[in-house]
Amino acid sequence: MPDLPSKPTIHGLKGWRYLALWPLGMLLRAWTLSLRIEFSPLARHQLGNIEEPVVFALWHNRLFIVAEMFRRQHRKRGVYGLVSPSRDGAWLEAFFSLVGIQAVRGSSHKRGREAALGLVDVLKAGYDIGVTPDGPRGPRYEFKAGSLVVARRTRSAMVLLGTAYESAWQFSSWDQFYLPIPFSRVRVSYDVVTSAELADERINVDVLQARLRAISPDKAITASNPVIV
C-alpha cells in the first residue's frame, strides 16, 4: 500500500527573529500614517451598512497599505488574511501580527481545502477576511475562484477593494507591487457584491475580475471630492 502524502509543516517565527521584525513594523506604521488615504462618501456609506463579516478582495500589488486601510475604515471587528505555511510565510505572519492583521495558515496550492475551511471558520466566528485573488504567484490581475467559493459557502458579502495612487514606486516583481511615496495621496474605492448577488451563477470570476480591475487603475489619480481620513 503506497504511503499517503504528508501535510506540509506550518513554520512559525519565535525569539530574536520575531523581535527583529519590530523596527520594520514600526517603520511601516509610520510610513502608512503619513499617507492621505481618501474614501469616497458613497464607499464609506456602503461599507457602514454591512454589519456581518465580509470577504475583502484586493489585488496582490495593493497589499502595502491594507492594514492602514482596515484601521481607518473603523470596522469594529478583526481581520484575517491567508498566509503560506512555509518559512517565508512565518515571517509574513509575524509581520502581519505587528500591524494588526491575524493569519490563517494555508496554501491555495498544497493545502487548498484546509485553507478554505480555515477562512470559513473565521467568517463564521464573526471576523472579516482579506484575500488577494491573484496571489500568491499570479498571473497578475487574474481572479481565482477560492474567495468566491468561501463567500458563497458562508453567504457573506464580498467587498472588492481598489486603490489608485497619486505617486508610487512600482517594483519589477510578477505583480508589479506598488509602494506609495510617503505623504502622497491614495484613493480607496469599494464595490460591494452582496451575498444575494453572489448566489447568482452569472456572477463568476470573470465578472468579479472585471469589477475589481475597474476600481484599481494603474494610472495616477486626479482631483476629486473625497473624505480624507
Q: Mind listing the pLDDT tens digit for each residue in 15-49? A: 666 677 788 888 888 999 999 999 877 777 777 77
pLDDT recorded at residue 54: 94
pLDDT recorded at residue 35: 95
Q: Are 52 and 128 in contact (CB under 8 A)?
A: no
Q: Report yes or no on 45 lying in a domain.
A: yes
What pTM value is reported for the model?
0.85
pLDDT recorded at residue 14: 62
List helix spans (H) across 12-155.
Answer: 16-33, 41-48, 66-72, 87-98, 112-124, 146-154
For residues 140 and 134, what is the distance between their CA atoms, to the nearest angstrom? 6
For residues 229 and 225, what is the distance between their CA atoms, to the nearest angstrom? 13
**Residue 48: C-alpha distances to residues 52, 54, 101, 159, 191 (Å):** 10, 12, 20, 12, 13
For residue 213, what are the domain limits?
16-228
pLDDT recorded at residue 32: 92
Q: What is the CATH number of the domain that holds 135?
A: 3.40.1130
Q: Report yes or no on 11 lying in a domain.
A: no
Q: Report yes or no on 6 lying in a domain.
A: no
Q: Report yes or no on 5 lying in a domain.
A: no
Q: Report yes or no on 7 lying in a domain.
A: no
Q: Report yes or no on 20 lying in a domain.
A: yes
pLDDT recorded at residue 67: 85
Q: Is 71 left (phi over 0), alpha (psi -120 to 50) or beta?
A: alpha
Q: Locate 83 and state its grid cell.
A: 498566509
pLDDT recorded at residue 170: 94
> How many domains does the chain divide into?
1
Other C-beta atoms closer than 10 Å to the C-beta of 201 total 7
For residues 92 and 165, what is the distance between their CA atoms, to the nearest angstrom? 24
Q: Locate 138 and state its grid cell.
A: 499570479
Interhelix angle for 146-154 vs 112-124, to 10°? 40
Q: Report yes or no on 1 lying in a domain.
A: no
> Residue 178's beta-bridge partner residues?
170
Q: Report yes or no on 8 lying in a domain.
A: no
Residues of the chain with pLDDT under 70: 1-18, 74, 87-89, 106-112, 222-229
